Amino acid sequence: MEIKIFDWIVVLGILFSQANQVHEQPGFDRAGYYQLLKKGTIGEIDKELSLLETLSLKEKQAYIATLIMKKAGMLKKPTDKIRLFKEGRAGLEKEISLDSSEAEYHFLRLIIQEHAPAVTKYRGQLQEDKEHIEKNYKTLLPAVQRAVMDYSKSSKVLHNLDLNTSEHG
């Protein structure tokens, strides 16, 4: 009798752990991704891009596109910067058009737009993205919520206070 109860506890433990990892994939560290986006080097970004190419995450293309735009800002040659930025922008916009309800995509776009030079003319959805993130904050995975809260501490658009007092549901 004790063995059967123990077996059920193990099975339930496995099921609950799998349920909590619905959007996670072995080999991918979502919190690490946001740290890299915040202060990664070109070499670290290239390494992450290579890793992302091997994964089958739903958000894969949005993550890749965002890193490409981040990398573009770190390049020296203006023509390379522009080419890479446009490539990343097209990729992220495509992902948003395929699933505009995904709050994390709006967060990725807000990060890039807030730091994009005016010459890119990529700042038109800041308010829209801010409102979408605030409205859907509680639907984000915990690692993404932490990234949003961390980012909001230095953002001129997205404020920690907005996330604490807005209706999220």
The 10s digit of each residue's pLDDT in 44-90 is 999 999 999 999 999 999 999 999 999 999 999 999 999 999 999 99
Q: Is the pLDDT of residue 27 over 60?
A: yes
- Among 16-25, 91-100, 136-145, 157-166, whose mean pLDDT is lowest? 16-25
Q: How confident is the model at residue 25 (pLDDT cuts 50, 70, 90)?
A: low
- Choose among 70, 63, 74, 69: nearest CA to 33: 63
108-111 LR contacts (CB < 8 Å, sep 24+): 108/62, 108/63, 108/65, 108/66, 109/66, 110/155, 110/157, 110/158, 111/37, 111/66, 111/151
Predicted TM-score (pTM) above 0.85: no
pLDDT at 169: 44
